[in-house]
Amino acid sequence: MDLKAAVTRARRGLREERGLYLVAVSSLAVAFLCLAGVLLATQNLSTMAARWGQSGRVSVYLAGDASPDDVTKLEGLLRGLPDVARVEHVTSAQARADFLEHADVGAALGQLPPEAFPASLEVTLAPSATAQRVDAIAGRVKSFAAVTDVETYRGWFDQLDTLVSAGRVAAIVLAALVALCVLAVIGNTIRLAVARRRQEIEVMKLCGATDGFVRGPLVLEGTFQGFVAAVIAILVLMVGFLALKDPINATVAALIGVRVAFLSSWMVVAVIVGGAVIGAAGSALSVRRYLDV
C-alpha cells in the first residue's frame, strides 16, 4: 500500500468533507473531554489519598486509671519505633480545653465531665509509614492495659480510597463508553463519506484499485479525526484547568494541603494516542462494513 498516495488522498478527503468531519470531531472531542476530565479528577484524588495516607496520625486513648509509669513506658516504646516521628501526651484536661476552645459548642457540652475527654498519646507517623505498618502499631499498642482504644483514622483513608477506586472504575467505564461512542460516530461518518464517494470508489475499482487503495485514505481520515478530537479535548481541559486551578488551590486544596495538578504527560500522550488508535480501529471496522464495492 502506497502510504504517500493514501495520505494525499486522505488530505483531499478531509478537505472535501470538512463539514461532515467538523461535526464528527466536535462530538468526539466532547466524548474525549469527559474521559479526560474523569482521569484528571481521579488522578488528583489519588494524589490526595497518597498524601493523606502518608501523613498518618494515631491517637492512643489511655484508661483513666492508667499509672503514669505505664504511660511513660508506652510513650518510650512508641518513640523507639522506626516509623514514629513524634509522640505527644495530651491529658484529659488539655483535651477538654482544646475541644472547648476549637469547637463552637453550646453550654450543654461545656458541662461534660472530664471523663468524656480521655487522656491520649498523639502519635505522628513518619511519611514512609504504610497502612499495614499503622495497623501493626495499633494492634501492638492495644494489648497494653493502660490503653482503652486506638484510633488510626483509617476509616477516612478507606473512604478516600473508595472514592479513588470509584473514580478509576468510572474512568474505565467511561473509556469503554467513549470507545463505543467513537466507533459509532466514526462508523457513521465513514458510512456517509463512502456514500458521497460512491462514484469515486466505483471508478477506482474499475481502474484496478485494490481494496487497500480504497480503504487506506478512509482509515487515515478516521485516525486523524480521533487524534484531532483527543488533542482538542486535552486543550479544552487544560484551559478549564488553568482557569479553575487558582480558586481550587486557594480553597479546597489549602484545606487538604494538596495542590491540584494537570494530567501527567504520559496520561496526555495516552489519551491522544488512544484517540488516534480508536479512530483507526473504528474506521477500519466500518470501512470493511460499508465498502463492498
Partner 1 sequence: MSREDFGEEGARPFAFFRAGARAEPGVANKPILVLEDVYKYFRVDQPTLRGVNLTVERGEFVFVTGPSGAGKSTLLQLIYRKHTVDDGRILFSGRDIARLTERSIPYLRRNLGIVFQDFKIIGHWTVFENVAIALEILSMPRRLVRARVAEALERVGLSGRGDALTDTLSGGEQQRVAVARAIVTEPALILADEPTGNLDPHLAIDVLTLFEEINATGTTVLFATHDHSLIAKRDHRLVSIDEGRVVESRRGLTTWAGGLHSVGG
Nearer residue to partner 1 within complex by CB, 100 or 192: 192
Residue 35 CB coordination number (10 Å):
26
Span 1-20, contacts to partner 1 by CB under 8 A: 1-2, 5, 16
Nearer residue to partner 1 within complex by CB, 88 or 202: 202
Span 133-162, contacts to partner 1 by CB under 8 A: none
Nearer residue to partner 1 within complex by CB, 72 or 210: 210
Do 61 and 120 contact (CB within 8 A), yes or no? yes
Q: Closest distance between partner 1 and the C-beta of residue 242, in Å?
A: 43
Q: In this chain, which of 17, 75, 122, 200 binds partner 1, going by CB under 8 A?
A: 200
3-state secondary structure of 123: strand
Which residue reads 516504646 in cell numbers? 77
Handedness of CA 185, 187, 189, 191 (dihedral sign): negative
Q: What is the DSSP letter of 60?
A: E
d(C-alpha 230, C-alpha 245), whole Å: 22
Count of residues touching partner 1 (by CB under 8 A): 17
Q: Closest distance between partner 1 and the C-beta of residue 162, in Å?
A: 55
The greatest distance separating any two alpha carbons of the chain, rounded to the nearest whole angstrom, comes to 99
Which residue reads 495520505 in cell numbers? 7
Separation in Å, CA 60 to CA 97, 151, 154, 194, 236: 18, 6, 14, 72, 49
* Among 22-30, 101-109, 199-207, 232-240, the segment contacting partner 1 (CB under 8 A): 199-207
* Among 45-53, 194-202, 224-232, 283-291, the segment contacting partner 1 (CB under 8 A): 194-202
3-state secondary structure of 236: helix
The site map against partner 1 for 201-220 (x = CB under 8 A) is -xxxxxxxxx-xx-------
Contact residues for partner 1 (CB under 8 A)?
Answer: 1-2, 5, 16, 199-200, 202-210, 212-213
